[in-house]
Structure 1
């Protein structure tokens, strides 16, 4: 597979490690050859790296399988998921989940990623709805610049939202960026 064929969400192998493509930008400079600037997330550790590939460079696509699953609970070291088709339970270490853990709700539907028959990652929905559990009242005054405040959602995560969001509201959050999307 060529680097030009990868897209956001593709899983590729580099030096024996599987990486998920978070972002891929094709750059065509006025002088010189085109290249791709790629942001990757390691499936086993949740660490991100940025690599540059020359246009037309060959890369190995990882052979992964996706299965519908449900998040059940977490213990001190890992997160436990159940496959929906056969009810088997699998765990992923907290290191593999990383920052996405703050968006996990019990019984949440997701997709488990398997590489060589072993679970290596889980894909959560890109946007999810959460109930605001704590919100300070917005300060009146200088709102010409789109004033914001911090609120706590049902999972305990802190999200920056516009001043009009109050406790008890349901908001949609982009789970990839951790940013407020809309009040629902």
Structure 2
């Protein structure tokens, strides 16, 4: 048990029998009335995000979530297989739990699996990854100053938008949260 004053980003709460992860929180002390905590929580199972408000000092049931580093091995067609870096045990994770992380997974990629009572809840990717562009239309000379973008296919098969000067074969840094281009990777 914790109080609403103990909330932190990433903390997992048990609200009405469901697991919710705290995305963001804010302690509010209005001029009139009691203080409260405004939160944005994400349902661990469905991914639904809702706003939830707690009175200051309210008791909240928290859950222990074990986060461990795993290495992505392969996709066998029905599930993604990961290996625990310390015990070398392999675990199968269904595609619905992998979610958008599949767009950035290459063999040997390091990820974090969040588990509760032996069950995988979700896959956490690092904030950014470096991937190679496998296909991109050539840019038109003189267009790079306009800030326009073009589609490019990554080595994982995922398509992102990149500036016109990026060419096929280049390595780029990509934000795993929103698939945005972050920059070129220096060789």
Q: Report the TM-score, using the length of structure 1 for normalisation.
A: 0.84
The CA distance in 2 between the partners of 1:39 and 1:162, in whole Å, is: 34
* 8 Å contact from structure 1 (residues 23, 40) kept in 2: no
Unmatched tracts of structure 1, length 5 or more: none
Post-superposition offset of 1:157: 0.7
**What does 1:1-184 align with in structure 2 at a 5 Å threshold?**
1-26=2-27, 34-42=36-44, 44-45=45-46, 47-56=47-56, 57-139=58-140, 146-184=147-185
- Which stretch shifts more, 55-64 or 82-91? 55-64
The 3 A distance-change label for structure 1 pair 27 and 139 is farther
Q: For residues 29-76 of structure 1, what are the alpha-carbon distances to aligned partners after superposition, in whole Å with 9 as ceiling and x for unaligned?
A: 66665441404142x34x222122134243222111122211111133
> Matched residues in 1 for 2:140 and 2:32: separation?
52
SS at match of 2:59: coil
Q: Over aligned residue pairs, what C-alpha RMSD do you find? A: 2.4
Equivalent pair of 1:21/1:41 in contact (CA under 8 Å): no
Q: What TM-score results when the alignment is normalised by the length of structure 2?
A: 0.83
Aligned length, in residue pairs: 182
Mapped contact 1:3–1:36 kept (Cα < 8 A): no
Gapped runs of 5+ residues in structure 2?
A: none
| 3-state SS of 1:149 partner | strand
Distance, in Å, in 2 between the alignment partners of 1:30 and 1:181 is 42
